Amino acid sequence: MKIENNIDTFNSLIKRRGFIWGPSPEVYGGFAGFYSYGPAGMALKNNILDLFRRECRYFGFGEVECPTIMPSIVWEASGHLERFIDPVMRCNKCTTLYRADKFFQENLPDIVIEGLSSKEMETLIKKHNLFCPKCGTPFEKIEEYNLMLKTSVGNNVTAYLRPETATTTYLLFNRLDQDARRQYPIKIFQYGKAYRNEISPRQGVLRMRAFDQFELQLFISKQQEMEFEDYDEIKNKKLPLLCWKLQEEGVNKPDLISLDEALKNKIIKKPAYAYCLYIGYYLTEILGIPQELIRLRQHSINERAHYADDAWDLEIETRQFGWVEICGIHDRTDYDLRRHAEFSKQNFEVSMGSDPNLKEIPQVLEIAFGIDRIIYVLLETTFNVEEGRINLKLKPNLAPNVVAVFPLVRNKENIRNLALKVHRNLLENRIGSFYDTAGSIGKRYRRQDELGTKWCITIDYESLDDNTVTIRERDSMDQTRVNISDLSEIIKMKQEE
RNA sequence: GCGCGAUUAGUCUAGUGGUCAGGAUCUCGGCCUUCCAAGCCGAUGACCCGGGUUCAAUUCCCGGAUCGCGCACCA
């Protein structure tokens, strides 16, 4: 295929080089909404996760992992059973599907729809003789479209695959309270699969039916939200904020303002929430996504999830899909813990300050990343074509290979042997090295450029005489000569930079 | 889920109711090669799935899957 700086070249690259494949299973024609990662994509994903886990430890978050399947009562309590099931009407003749509540709203504007049961809606259909606008067939029944994937466990017990990891983290609350010795705020994250039965998944890995979430949770008191201990450290950080008001005025460029300013202007209500916005932004920035492609966009009241008091999306501007949400930051209040306390008949009121008699249900602040979306936007934003050369400008530590080692020519045994020795030595030092002898040296450089490998090490004739090798840098293509004995140390140092 | 269009090697594509489905690139093997997709020789590899029409279907028809666009949907 012709190498051009366009989206077709990019889309072919991520398949060709083993980043993302699908829809899976491809040999059976594919199943919409399900994708696989090849070796390069998985290496990239693991590097992102390593980085995120390291940074979460730095911010004081502990990690948990919960089951992906939970019984119905959990989702009743969380509100997902109610909110994730949409009432729909299906035309018996042309099988077109309509959202019942929306259809009523448009066609019967005088009637209050909210809270109506399926039976009541069916009565409305008959009373007003509602029919399919496409073919004129009268509607009959209200059906349910469930955005959660239903399954049955054991002896026909209904259960659901989790539509988010967050809820499963909240269910550990009383354990976490003990585990953290009641030192609030409690900071916990969970990484894992979540499932949503999208009606029509599109846009590749951006809207999958099985996807990875990486969600950070803060359990915190109301007082701590307003007097947050770490706020001072981050209050002068400037973030690209696009608040709801600006959006209403038709603005879509964010304001780069400090969190303190945002708080003073009442764009943000709570210092602890501001801290969450910062963590979301920080974790995005260290992936190497250019600042000008990042914005934090506040949800309007209508856009917010059922549990949210305030919500901002962290979005990345892409060529192929416009602004893409990679992270949602939600003020979930005490909604979840209150509901789970109620449904499980547990007492989740705890003392979080110095007065042991002052008890309340903790507030929850959430930072929820979609890992697959991160992988997509990272690949797309680092993709470059420079004079016919594909260059994936990933940060060195995220690239599938840290270095690649080549003999300058293949048909000289002594050069080949030395190259292999250098490669093995790097591996001994646990540096991710890839060895390649096929084709010309230029071709091998290009192959690595496509994977984002930052440094290529070449063993040439000079190496045989003085034990030096060249390190070729990906973006500049400049080469420096170093001693083989120093190589591992130098690469490790470069990685730290 | 609806409407329109599409689906041919790993990738990008040409083409056909009937001989071996063509090209580019990639990949692999060999030769050559003292640093950025060089050259030469050789090789592997594809008509989305199911049904129908037909002596014969990758090609035409129907259904399904998937993708793209629009509508709807998107906690």
CATH of domain A38-75+161-382: 3.30.930.10
CA A275 to CA A260: how far, in whole Å? Answer: 11
Domain ranges of chain A: 38-75+161-382, 85-146, 401-496
In the 242-281 segment of chain A, residues within 7 Å (Cβ) of strand B are none
The answer to whether A420 CB sits below 7 Å from nucleic acid chain B is no
- Residue by residue, DSSP assigns A121-184 as HHHHHHHTT-B-TTT-PBP--EEEEESSPEEEETTTEEEEE-S-SHHHHHTTHHHHHHHTTT-S
- Residue A82's pLDDT is 82
The answer to whether A92 CB sits below 7 Å from nucleic acid chain B is no
- Residue A369's pLDDT is 97
- Residue A497's pLDDT is 82
- Nearest residue (CA) to C1' of B12: A1
CATH class for the region spanning A85-146? alpha beta
In this structure, are residues A224 and A184 in contact, taking their beta carbons and an 8 Å threshold?
A: yes
- Residue A136's pLDDT is 66
The answer to whether A345 CB sits below 7 Å from nucleic acid chain B is no
Spell out where A361-440 has E strands. Answer: 363-370, 383-386, 389-392, 403-407, 433-435
Among A291, A274, A280, A267, residue whose Cα is nearest residue A327: A280
In this structure, are residues A433 and A426 in contact, taking their beta carbons and an 8 Å threshold?
A: yes
In the 203-232 segment of chain A, residues within 7 Å (Cβ) of strand B are 203-204, 207
The answer to whether A17 CB sits below 7 Å from nucleic acid chain B is no
**Containing H/E element for A78?**
helix A72-78
The answer to whether A447 CB sits below 7 Å from nucleic acid chain B is yes
The answer to whether A18 CB sits below 7 Å from nucleic acid chain B is no
Q: Is the peptide bond between A362 and the residue preceding it cis, with omega within 30 degrees of 0?
A: no
ipTM: 0.93
- Residue A130's pLDDT is 76
CA/C1' separation A417–B63 (Å): 60
- Residue A223's pLDDT is 95
CA/C1' separation A31–B49 (Å): 13
The answer to whether A306 CB sits below 7 Å from nucleic acid chain B is yes
Nucleotides on chain B within 7 angstroms of protein Cβ: 1-3, 10-13, 24-29, 31-38, 48-49, 64-69, 71-75
Q: SS3 for A244?
A: helix
CA A193 to CA A168: how far, in whole Å? Answer: 11
- Residue A210's pLDDT is 95
A6, A284, A358 from A14: Cα distances, Å:
13, 21, 55
Spell out where A299-351 has E strands. Answer: 310-318, 322-333, 350-351
Task: Decide: residue A406, CB within 10 A, 0-12 exposed, 13-18 middle, 19+ buried.
Answer: buried
Structure tokens at A152: 């049955």
CA/C1' separation A165–B68 (Å): 32
CA/C1' separation A248–B1 (Å): 32
Q: Is the peptide bond between A254 and the residue preceding it cis, with omega within 30 degrees of 0?
A: no
Strands A433-435 and A403-407: parallel
The answer to whether A174 CB sits below 7 Å from nucleic acid chain B is no
Strands A294-298 and A310-318: antiparallel
Domain A401-496 has CATH 3.20.20.210: no
In this structure, are residues A255 and A240 in contact, taking their beta carbons and an 8 Å threshold?
A: yes
Structure tokens at A326: 């990679």
- Scanning A271-398, the segments in alpha helix (DSSP H) are 271-285, 335-344, 371-382
Task: Decide: residue A20, CB within 10 A, 0-12 exposed, 13-18 middle, 19+ buried.
Answer: buried
- Which nucleotide in the DNA or RNA is closest to residue A79, CA to C1'? B75
The answer to whether A196 CB sits below 7 Å from nucleic acid chain B is yes
CA/C1' separation A1–B25 (Å): 6
Taking 70 as the pLDDT cut, the residues of chain A under it are 91-97, 105-106, 109-117, 132-137
Torsion of CA A429, A420, A46, A320, to 10 degrees: 140
Same fold, A38-75+161-382 and A401-496: no
CA A213 to CA A378: how far, in whole Å? Answer: 16
The answer to whether A388 CB sits below 7 Å from nucleic acid chain B is yes
CA/C1' separation A29–B53 (Å): 26
Distance of CA A138 to the CA centre of its chain: 43
- Residue A392's pLDDT is 96
In this structure, are residues A452 and A392 in contact, taking their beta carbons and an 8 Å threshold?
A: yes
- Which nucleotide in the DNA or RNA is closest to residue A472, CA to C1'? B35
